[in-house]
Amino acid sequence: MHLAELAVKEASRKGATEAEAYVEKAKRIQVEFSGDIESFKTVESLGMNLRVTLGRKSAMYATSISDENEVETAAAKAINIAKVAPEDPDWKHMNKRFGKASAEGYYDKTLETLDYAEIVDALTSAANRMESYDARVKPTRGFFVTSISKASVANNYNESAQRRETHIVIWMRTKAEEAGMKSTGTEHQEARFWKEIAFEDLAVKAAEKATKFLRTKPIPSEKMPVILRNQVFANVLGVMLSGPLNADWVQKGRSPLSDKLGIQIASEKIDLIDDGIRRKGWHTKPFDDEGFPTQRTQVIVKGILRNYLYDSYTALKDNVESTGNAQRPYYWLAPQPAPNNLILKPGRTSPQDLIGETKRGIYVEDTIGEWLSNPVSGNLNATVTHGYLVENGGLTDPIKGVVISGNFYEILRDGVAVIGDDLRNSSQNYAPTVGLSQLTVVGK
């Protein structure tokens, strides 16, 4: 019997009405680098999250596992907490529908046998590529992480499920320096397969970006069209919609999308899905963190809000089926509804044409602080670290340090001028480059 089932059995034996165990075993390699490898480490971890109920009282206890005796301690602790928890009048039961959706591309077997030397080689050549790109360029910091994880979920309804996943992250930053002027260039990629990591391509792009931003020009504050590069818009989507689409936010009155089902909340150009089974998607998996099968959910169809994202608790509360969105960002956290892969459907315009059709505006390559935007009020705000002025259909002066702001819900309704055709992800958020008709740009 494996650990998850053992824990469920132990909790039931100790008197739990219901019990659910989520066990995660992970092996990670993390390498930090600059011009050279700075550090190399490996992590092996085993952790468990046990949820129990006593009637309508629930509690959770999570622990890293150093030996099997801890299962018994965990069960006892969880039950002790549940005893004092107030009753939750909305509690019905834990997930009773386990199953596997036909998802593909979430496990890369090659990671099992990937040699350390191969990783070191790939990173060293990426660093060398940045240095050889231009004499003014120096790679300053990067990290690379591979993870192989195995998750098991089991509960007292005699159900259990297991999955294995791989994730790879690479992030690199380079600096360019010339005559006292400094600039940086950053690139990142999140993928499920080793072969998909574009080491050289990322290195060249980061180096190119740094050299282009040595000389930037200040621009005055004004309202103007703004084009957001695919990964930037993907980040914005994640920040502004992940919370409001969460059924828990909706039920608790925190979501500005409460009472908006079936209502036009965006222009007809907007189609948004949450796709838990997208091939090789960052959060693709056959079942969610409660064992419920994942699926493809239509969220916004031609501008009309069609669905919120549910786990089993929120679904039972609304008397609907879960959408398979129960997620635990870490094993020790309780499951919460969150997007699997949030995808804005691409249009037909290439980013080049999108820029080509713009008389005057800015093209935003990278931002920081977009996550400080307020999804409740819809106030969107980001600081542009790398952008270009667009004049008569072409990119001209590089600009940095300007702040862009606007109301996200107004943008969705009236502000999306053109949707590009170049879908790309930033973690689990997917978007093409998008042209917005107008944002406030705060310059000097």
Residues 281-340 that bind another protein (CB under 8 A): 332-334
Exposed, middle or buried: residue 426 (CB in 10 Å: 0-12, 13-18, 19+)? buried
Per CB under 8 A, contacts with another protein among 371-430 are: 371-374, 376-377, 379-383, 385, 400-401, 403, 405
Identity of residue 197: I
Confirm or reject binding of residue 229 to another protein (CB under 8 A): no
Which window, 175-183, 193-201, 302-310, 420-428, contacts another protein (CB under 8 A)?
175-183
Which window, 95-103, 251-259, 319-327, 417-425, contacts another protein (CB under 8 A)?
251-259
Q: Considering the complex, what minimum distance in angstroms separates the CB of residue 425 from another protein? A: 19
Provide the 3-class DSSP secondary structure of residue 239. Answer: helix
Nearest residue (CB) to another protein, 74 versus 355: 74
Measured distance CA(276)–CA(95) in Å, rounded: 18
Size of the site for another protein (CB under 8 A): 81
Contacts for 193 with CB less than 8 Å, ≥ 6 apart: 105, 108, 110, 166, 168, 280
Provide the 3-class DSSP secondary structure of residue 260. Answer: coil
* Cα pseudo-dihedral 82, 60, 253, 98, rounded to 10: -110
Q: Considering the complex, what minimum distance in angstroms separates the CB of residue 143 from another protein? A: 6
Nearest residue (CB) to another protein, 14 versus 138: 138
Which window, 6-14, 247-255, 268-276, 430-438, contacts another protein (CB under 8 A)?
247-255
Overall size of the chain counted in residues: 444
Q: Considering the complex, what minimum distance in angstroms separates the CB of residue 353 from another protein? A: 30
Confirm or reject binding of residue 235 to another protein (CB under 8 A): no
Measured distance CA(292)–CA(361) in Å, rounded: 46
Q: Give DSSP secondary structure letters for 48-98.
A: EEEEEEETTEEEEEEEE-SSTHHHHHHHHHHHHHHHHSPP-TT---S----
* CA atoms within 13 Å, Cβ hemisphere of 64: 5
User: How far apart, in Å, do the first and last CA atoms of the chain sit?
Assistant: 65
Q: Considering the complex, what minimum distance in angstroms separates the CB of residue 195 from another protein? A: 21
Kindly tell me the number of DSSP H helices and DSSP E strands found in the chain: 10, 21
Q: Considering the complex, what minimum distance in angstroms separates the CB of residue 264 from another protein? A: 17
Which window, 103-111, 173-181, 229-237, 347-355, contacts another protein (CB under 8 A)?
173-181
Q: Considering the complex, what minimum distance in angstroms separates the CB of residue 175 from another protein? A: 5
Confirm or reject binding of residue 263 to another protein (CB under 8 A): no
Nearest residue (CB) to another protein, 210 versus 309: 210
Nearest residue (CB) to another protein, 248 versus 288: 248
Q: Considering the complex, what minimum distance in angstroms separates the CB of residue 216 from another protein? A: 10
Measured distance CA(413)–CA(265) in Å, rounded: 6
Confirm or reject binding of residue 214 to another protein (CB under 8 A): no
Measured distance CA(245)–CA(309) in Å, rounded: 6
Confirm or reject binding of residue 180 to another protein (CB under 8 A): no
Q: Considering the complex, what minimum distance in angstroms separates the CB of residue 103 from another protein? A: 26
Which window, 37-45, 226-234, 355-363, 413-421, contacts another protein (CB under 8 A)?
37-45
Q: Considering the complex, what minimum distance in angstroms separates the CB of residue 21 from another protein? A: 14
Pull the structure tokens for residue 334.
Answer: 């309780």
> 23 vs 1, 277, 369, 382, 402, CA distance in Å?
13, 22, 34, 38, 45
Sheet of 304-305: strand order equals 304-305, 296-301, 272-275, 342-344, 429-431, 424-426
Confirm or reject binding of residue 212 to another protein (CB under 8 A): no
Nearest residue (CB) to another protein, 58 versus 297: 58
Confirm or reject binding of residue 14 to another protein (CB under 8 A): no
Per CB under 8 A, contacts with another protein among 97-156 are: 116-117, 119-120, 124, 138, 140-141, 143, 145
Q: Considering the complex, what minimum distance in angstroms separates the CB of residue 182 from another protein? A: 6
Note the Cα 224 to chain centre separation in Å.
29
Note the Cα 204 to chain centre separation in Å.
25
Confirm or reject binding of residue 193 to another protein (CB under 8 A): no
Q: Considering the complex, what minimum distance in angstroms separates the CB of residue 307 from another protein? A: 21
Nearest residue (CB) to another protein, 372 versus 394: 372
